[in-house]
Amino acid sequence: MTKLRVGVMRGGLGPEYHVSLRTGGNVLAALVGNKYEAHDILITNVGEWHIDGVPTTPSKLSQHVDVVFNALHGEFGEDGKVQKILEIFNIPYTGSTVLPSAIGMNKDLAKKYFSAIGIKVPHGIVVARGEEVGEVITRVGNEVRAPWVVKPLTGGSSVGISLANDSRELVSAIEGALAYSEKAIIEEYVRGREVTVGVVDSSDGLGSYATPPLEVLLPEGKLFDYDQKYKNLIHPVGPARMSSVERRALEEVALRAHVHLGARHYARYDFIMTDDGPCLLEVNTLPGLTNTSLLMKSLSLNGLTLPEFIDYVLTLALTKK
């Protein structure tokens, strides 16, 4: 029987290059020994394309693969750009299409998109490289209450995120975020429990379902940043502590956000559970699939393994547009 040729696209241009290598490596390993013929599509951090170690171009991918499992994160892979390339060459791929990817990648645009349908989001403002520091500090002080969460406007994996309690810390935090993106977003620090929930499309094309929510078990004022996610030997995440009413409210908002965004196949939504209900922080349209990734921890609570999930998502990519 002819095996389905799956190209696993990993690497990429941004600071999440190494996380993508890990996600893609896990996907490649999970494809070994079953009905698939796996091919490693590596995009280097300078934009060179390789397949199974041999230099190639996007126009030649269809000669080697039937479908692409998109294991890229952040810039180029998660912002709609690589999706557009794959569509030009009529190659099926996993994950969201061009527009939902582009919207989800821009934290301010995504918040406006969700706020328009009544979903609670943090108040914040956007600043750009080159703006006068004093004017920025004044504007932030007038429009957003302290403390402030500062992060790059685009990107994921919590790269460049920090918490600022005063003007001095705010300047440093903005500089740190702008090192990764041309713009930064400065948001109010929303108090409550940080939780995350995955949304996966159903195979019958009649909706989506939410995965078991996870809670970030960190003290108040401590952010779940890149080091906590990928370098801390003790991963501070566990099943979310919430009532059935809270869980239904969380799932309802996540599913509504997923549908309104037009996200496809799977995504992850990060929230703060406040006294007034869930506040949506951001969406990740291509969440990591590493050994410590939140989506995989959530799926495992339902007994789902990575090979089973990959098989399911590939089926969605080939049968559900």
Structure token pair of residue 109: 């645009």
194 is catalytic: no
Q: Are 108 and 185 in contact (CB under 8 A)?
A: yes
C-alpha torsion sign, points 192, 194, 195, 199: positive
Catalytic residue among 101, 157, 158, 208: 157
Distance of CA 27 to the CA centre of its chain: 17
293 is catalytic: yes
175 is catalytic: no
Q: For residues 117 and 96, what is the distance between their CA atoms, to the nearest angstrom?
A: 20
Cα pseudo-dihedral 39, 42, 43, 46, rounded to 10:
-150
- Residues 6+ positions from 138 with CB-CB distance below 8 Å: none
* Nearest CA among 8, 61, 83 for reference residue 39: 8
Catalytic residue among 20, 158, 162, 293: 293
Pairing outcome for strands 4-11 and 67-70: parallel
DSSP character for 2? Answer: P
Which DSSP helix (H) or strand (E) runs through 12?
none
Q: Are 246 and 217 in contact (CB under 8 A)?
A: no
* Nearest CA among 297, 207, 195 for reference residue 255: 207
Structure token pair of residue 264: 């496809």
Structure token pair of residue 204: 């019958």
* Nearest CA among 96, 120, 117, 84 for reference residue 262: 96
270 labeled part of a ligand binding site: yes
How wide is the angle at C-alpha 226 spanned by C-alphas 154 and 238, nearest 5°?
Answer: 115
Quote the longest CA-to-CA distance of the chain: 67
Binding site membership for Mg(2+): which residues? Answer: 270, 282, 284
Binding site membership: which residues? Answer: 270, 282, 284
Catalytic machinery residues: 16, 157, 293
